[in-house]
Amino acid sequence: MMIRQPQNESRRIMIANRGEIASRVAKACRELGHTPIGLWTDNEPEATHLQFCDEWVHLEGASNAETYLNPEKILKIAKENNVHAIHPGYGFLSENADFARTLEANGITFIGPNTEAIRVMGDKAISKRLANEAGVPTVPGTDTAVPTVEEAVRISNDIGYPVLLKAVAGGGGRGMRACESEADVRANFEAVGRESLAAFNNGDLLVEKLILNPRHVEVQILADKKGNIFHFFERECSVQRRHQKIIEEAPSPFIGNDEAVRQDLCETAVKLAKAVDYDSAGTVEFIMAEDKSFYFLEMNTRIQVEHPITEEITGMDLIVCMIQSALGDELGIPSQEFITRTGHAIECRICAEDPITMLPAPGLVTGFETNFPQGTRFDHCMYKGLEVTPDFDPMVGKLVCKGIVRDVALRKMRAALDGLFIEGLKTNKPLLKEILKEEKFCEGDYSTSYIKEIAPQDKVDTSFNHHRFYTVLAGVEARRMGI
């Protein structure tokens, strides 16, 4: 039997985001025959994503608060432009349940899950309670906000040190503090609460056991509005700095060929998604201990940065599916068995940051060329003249390589990094190159403590290969001149 993709009606879709994800969404809209509408702000009139949009609207202002984090302004523009649906990308308003609700109230489709799912999963305490109720294992500790430092100390003494103080509303790796002792909890409790209140408008904290040398493993979920929930296998994102991912791969090298663990993990993620009547794309994140027991961390009710590696091993387009799901169109996925995987994919986040300190390094791109091996995908927002400001996420691109097995994907990634030339801007490329040749990483033997323990940043070589860069430029120039 031939499985066909049903045709959909053409819609006007606005993208309330910038950077690489805005381009990615615009291309998916065009592919489906929708009209992608891009937004440009005062300081980014030449943003890359605009070239993939069919219409452009000025989102006046420069700061995030005036632009992509301004739900009223975005709603007003959407109404003025007869927008049928909004894709929020990741970050910004993507996990803002109030925004999604307001859109729906105005007859505009939010391309994401139902607002109730966003609300409950956006709170690390509520979602942990829900996971517990659904029989999904969670990290030992509390699943309600801890009201006082005395209570935090009592719980910590109970579960044993080290513990983690964690903001219920945290995200992006922020709002977390590890504590080694009772004195540490006493010293940090109030401060983490205060910082979380300032950053997330909510100072509530959980106390949980800090799992030592864990792996971060997550499961991609996709669901439609008819109750069909599928998983797209797992990704491993254990190479992290400041609790933020830098390199991700699929499948997880830690799970390896342990199909029983893989199936258990994926089915657990689906069970949780079912418990919240999930629809759209989403990710259930877990932390996996050294004995491969796993605990629910959080659910991200949006498309994630690292979604391309899942697309590479499954051949599915998650953004396309997300749009189809939100618009009530058919996904064209007959059953879970339809989703299979082959090979191995790896993603490196290319960030405008110092490769040794790993701190953001804003700057101006004075030259940009690529010369990639077969099997490479670069989702990015780069162009000569791009100014990376401290306002925006320092991530300027995602380099993705696929190979039939992990070693091949790694080999291709080394070649791809060598073929990525960014002049002017300081990036983490030298650090990524160092990791890609480091023994433990190449063996797949690493945990979330990798950067701290192995310290690949100490070996970084920051010399810029001008010879290679200009050879590539000369080649490009020669092609332009028809030589």
Q: Which residues are catalytic?
A: 302
> Which residue carries 């697309």 as its tokens?
311
Nearest residue (CB) to ligand ADP, 84 versus 435: 435
State the nearest-atom distance from the C-beta of 240 to Mg ion, in Å.
Answer: 10
Q: Which of 377, 384, 381, 385 is nearest to 419 (CA)?
A: 377
Helix, coil or strand: residue 87: strand
> x/- contact string, 263-292, with Mg ion (CB under 5 A)?
----------------------x-------
Residue pair 337/228 in contact by the 8 Å Cβ criterion: no
Q: Copy the structure tokens of residue 338.
A: 């339809």
State the nearest-atom distance from the C-beta of 152 to Mg ion, in Å.
Answer: 22
State the nearest-atom distance from the C-beta of 67 to ligand ADP, in Å.
Answer: 15
Nearest residue (CB) to ligand ADP, 300 versus 457: 300
Q: Copy the structure tokens of residue 219.
A: 């499961």
Backbone angles phi and psi of 165, in degrees to 5 = -90, 130
Return the sign of the alpha-carbon dihedral for residues 234, 239, 245, 249: negative
Partner from Mg ion, ligand ADP, none binding residue 448, C-beta < 5-8 Å depending on class: ligand ADP
Query: Beta partners for 421?
Result: 369
Query: Nearest residue by C-beta to Mg ion?
Result: 285
State the nearest-atom distance from the C-beta of 238 to ligand ADP, in Å.
Answer: 7
Partner from ligand ADP, Mg ion, none binding residue 373, C-beta < 5-8 Å depending on class: none
Cα 158 to Cα 33: distance, rounded to the nearest angstrom: 57
Residues at the contact surface with ligand ADP, assessed by CB under 6 A: 90-91, 139, 164, 170-173, 176, 208-211, 214, 216, 240, 243-245, 285, 287, 297-298, 300, 304-306, 393, 448
Partner from Mg ion, ligand ADP, none binding residue 208, C-beta < 5-8 Å depending on class: ligand ADP
Count of alpha carbons within 13 angstroms of residue 285, beta-carbon side: 22
Q: How many residues sit in the footprint of Mg ion (CB under 5 A)?
A: 1
The letter for the amino acid at 248 is E
The letter for the amino acid at 444 is G
Nearest residue (CB) to Mg ion, 237 versus 413: 237
> Which residue carries 């702000």 as its tokens?
41
Residue pair 394/428 in contact by the 8 Å Cβ criterion: no
End-to-end CA distance of the chain: 50
State the nearest-atom distance from the C-beta of 216 to ligand ADP, in Å.
Answer: 4
Nearest residue (CB) to ligand ADP, 175 versus 430: 175
Partner from ligand ADP, Mg ion, none binding residue 236, C-beta < 5-8 Å depending on class: none
Residue pair 70/89 in contact by the 8 Å Cβ criterion: no
Helix, coil or strand: residue 172: coil
Burial class (CB in 10 A: 0-12, 13-18, 19+), 25: buried
Burial class (CB in 10 A: 0-12, 13-18, 19+), 345: buried
Partner from ligand ADP, Mg ion, none binding residue 402, C-beta < 5-8 Å depending on class: none
Q: Which of 16, 52, 23 is nearest to 35 (CA)?
A: 52
State the nearest-atom distance from the C-beta of 286 to Mg ion, in Å.
Answer: 10
Return the sign of the alpha-carbon dihedral for residues 345, 348, 349, 350: negative
State the nearest-atom distance from the C-beta of 412 to Mg ion, in Å.
Answer: 27
Interacting residue ranges for Mg ion, rule: CB under 5 A: 285
